[in-house]
Amino acid sequence: MNTSEHLTTFPAIAIFLAGLAFFFHGLDGVKESLKSMAGRSLRQRIERFTSTGALAALWGFILGALAQSSTAASFIVTGFVSSRLLTLRRALTMVAWANLGTVVLPFVASFDIRTVIALILGVGGLLATFRAGREFLLPAWRGLFMLGLLMLGLQFLKDATGGIPDEPWFRQFAQTLGDSLVFGFVVGIASRLVIQSTSAIVVIVVTFVNSGILTDSQAAMMVHGAGVGVGATVLLMGRSSHGLPRQLAYFQAIINSAAGAILALEVITTKFTGLPSLLDLIRNTITSDSSRMLAVVYVVQQSLCVGIAELCGSRWTQWLNRLSPPTDAQNLATPMYIDQGAGVDPTSFLDMIAREQSRIVERLPDILDCVRSDGERTLAECNHMAESCKSLGAEIHHALRELSQTRLDRQDAEQLLALDMKQRAVDQLVTEVAHFARASLDERRASETGGDSDGNALLFGMTEGLHLVLSQLVECDRSRVPSDVSMLLMIVSDRGDLMEQLRADIAASTSRGARPGLQYTLALFERAMWLVGKVVPAAANGNDDLDGLDGIGGADGMGGVDGTGGTDDTDGSGGTDSKTNDPTDQTSATSNSLQHT
């Protein structure tokens, strides 16, 4: 699209809406691709590339120069942080210097980003379509294509609003306000809300000055207003985010708004006091050309952003944590132990991995919160919790894989295998519980719409029963008391009567017009119960020393887990490998109470 073409109202609106769609879709695609790539090895490479503040600043400057938008750079870095590819401290440095990188465009106005966008879209799209290279590179090609889509969206937004300066109503409005500095500041803020590039606004402002529409002071105020507009734009686009992504949005908003406000105050103060202004200093020492003067003003403003960021240094982390504390899901996705395992002996490192697994198990009941009567979490929050469990599980798999490449004695090797098998079962259990929560919520809404009280009662019983079992699993994983383990194993293994009763109830309810999706929900429930038996920590018979993990979910280990993925048919899994032969009265009572529920 050629920005010199005059766009009528309808095409401009259509292009503006397409730009918004491309931007948000590209942003989501970049984040998802980064999450797919977020392995320990990739994170280690990025850590090396940004190991010092100078390297992080350099890459931030390059990112800003390529994106030509501090907003786009900020959201790209947010994707790095969300995927744990970049620490928050280095991300703040990159975001600050990305602002300074955007000064390239006003000095090199002939640089056409459309060619870069077309190249990124073409190369990324073709590589992703034909699956070039190894399989692990596919998320990178998709991410490259989505980055091009994001930049294309920004370009569409610029093109849709590029004809505004030529509109008669705008020229008339500018002439009516005369040399008002407030006008320039307000227009700068409004322009930045629709034109997602401050550097592009600077180029437009130059045309205003050359056409006599704005004075140099008004033009400078418009540039400063655009700085404040950056903060408003980032906060608006990131309003649905929480935790670390919102921290970066706050950081970008604060440094840009502060820099713009300080320089705007300088312009107003010098006008009414008669003191030499920044424009006077530039005019007398550097250049008297209006376009170059504004380019220098923009450099000063972006440099001030960097100065504000560097001045506060490490205190930013503390302030941002107060403004937007990390969410539970984000804390869960961040390893607490294995990242500190460098240089420790294998036995200690395996203990750290076991602790990380326990963090996932402790969160399993929370995934059902959205369908429980007294739950406080929404479905989206429960899905985020499940995704965080999977992210931490991927970290555990990477840690186990790296440890398996070292020399281990027999005991450590057996424990590593047991942990790996347990983690596979935990991953599947997280998936099944999340699917059950989603299916149960859908069926509950359908039952309420159709007035099916029996269907709701069945869903309530399955939800509370599964929550009870998962809560008991948490206690067993924490205490490893043999009697508790035996009780839980009896509940999840001796469930034939319970399943038959539930099937009979669902069949009777279905005959009265209930949704057949209850059968699917029951299959998920039964499979989740079976997988609990595979995750239950083994208790040594009559031995209170349970510090080691000698087996998971049964004497035969986890051999049956790998072949269970992706199927809902669990009829053949009714008997687990670690079924107890001498159930206690407490076990029987608990099992009966679950059947009653």
- CA 366 to chain centroid: 19
- Do 257 and 230 touch, CB atoms closer than 8 A? yes
Q: Which two tokens stand for residue 104?
A: 């390239």
CA distance 36 to 16: 30
Q: What is the pLDDT along the chain (597 residues), one digit of tens a residue?
A: 444 444 566 777 788 788 878 877 876 777 677 656 655 566 666 767 777 888 888 888 887 776 667 777 777 787 777 666 777 888 888 889 988 887 765 655 444 567 778 888 999 889 888 888 776 678 888 888 887 887 787 677 667 766 666 667 766 766 665 567 887 888 888 878 776 667 667 766 776 676 666 778 888 888 889 888 887 777 776 666 677 778 888 898 899 899 999 999 998 898 888 888 888 888 888 887 777 788 888 889 989 999 999 888 778 888 888 888 877 777 777 787 886 655 678 888 888 899 889 999 999 999 998 888 787 888 888 888 898 888 888 888 888 888 888 888 889 999 999 999 999 999 999 999 999 999 888 888 876 766 666 667 788 888 888 999 999 999 888 888 888 888 888 878 766 666 676 667 666 665 555 456 677 888 888 889 889 988 886 533 333 433 333 333 333 333 333 433 343 443 434 333 433 334 344 444 444 444 444
**Among candidates 571, 561, 516, 527, which has minimal Cα distance to 433?**
527
**Among candidates 196, 244, 195, 162, which has minimal Cα distance to 73?**
196
- Do 242 and 324 touch, CB atoms closer than 8 A? yes
CA distance 218 to 213: 9
Q: In the 8-state DSSP scheme, what is residue 537?
A: B
CA distance 59 to 93: 9
pTM as predicted: 0.56
131: three-class secondary structure by DSSP = coil
Alpha helices in 274-374 (DSSP H): 278-285, 290-312, 315-323, 328-333, 346-363
**Beta carbons within 8 Å of 344's beta carbon, 6+ residues apart:** 352
- Do 277 and 266 touch, CB atoms closer than 8 A? yes
**Beta carbons within 8 Å of 239's beta carbon, 6+ residues apart:** none
552: three-class secondary structure by DSSP = strand
At CA 356, angle to CA 544 and CA 484, rounded to 5? 30
- Do 447 and 338 touch, CB atoms closer than 8 A? no
CA distance 251 to 240: 16
CA distance 281 to 284: 5
- Exposed, middle or buried: residue 589 (CB in 10 Å: 0-12, 13-18, 19+)? exposed
List Cα–Cα distances, 415 to 188, 286, 549, in angstroms: 62, 70, 6
Region of 178 please: left (phi>0), alpha (psi -120 to 50) or beta. Answer: left
CA distance 248 to 484: 45
Dmax over CA atoms of the chain, in Å, equals 94
Region of 553 please: left (phi>0), alpha (psi -120 to 50) or beta. Answer: left
CA distance 6 to 159: 10
